[in-house]
Amino acid sequence: MPLLDVRQLSVSYHQAGTALQAVDGVTFSVEPGEVLALVGESGSGKSSIALALTRLLPMPPAVVSGEVRFDGRELLTAPEEALRAIRGGRIAYVFQDPDTSLNPVLAIGEQLIEAIRLHDEAEARPAEAAVRWLSRVGIASAAERLRAYPHEFSGGMQQRVMLAMALAGRPALLIADEPTTALDVTVQLQILRLLRDLQRSLQLAILLISHDLTVVERIAHRVGVLSAGRLVELGPVQDVLSRPAHPYTRQLLRYRSMVRLRRPEAGHG
Strand order in the sheet with 62-70: 18-30, 4-15, 62-70, 73-74
Question: Is residue 220's pLDDT more than 80?
Answer: yes
pLDDT in tens, 21-67: 999 999 999 999 999 999 988 889 999 999 999 999 988 899 999 99
Q: Please name every residue paired with 87 in a beta bridge, in sequence order, or none if there are none.
A: 91
Q: Would you state the pLDDT for residue 260?
A: 59
Q: Would you state the pLDDT for residue 89?
A: 83
Could you tell me the pLDDT band of residue 259, with boundaries at 50, 70 and 90?
Answer: low
H or E segment to which residue 265 belongs: helix 247-266
Lowest-pLDDT range of 86-90, 200-204, 261-265 = 261-265
pLDDT in tens, 129-181: 999 999 999 999 999 999 999 999 988 899 999 999 999 888 999 999 988 88
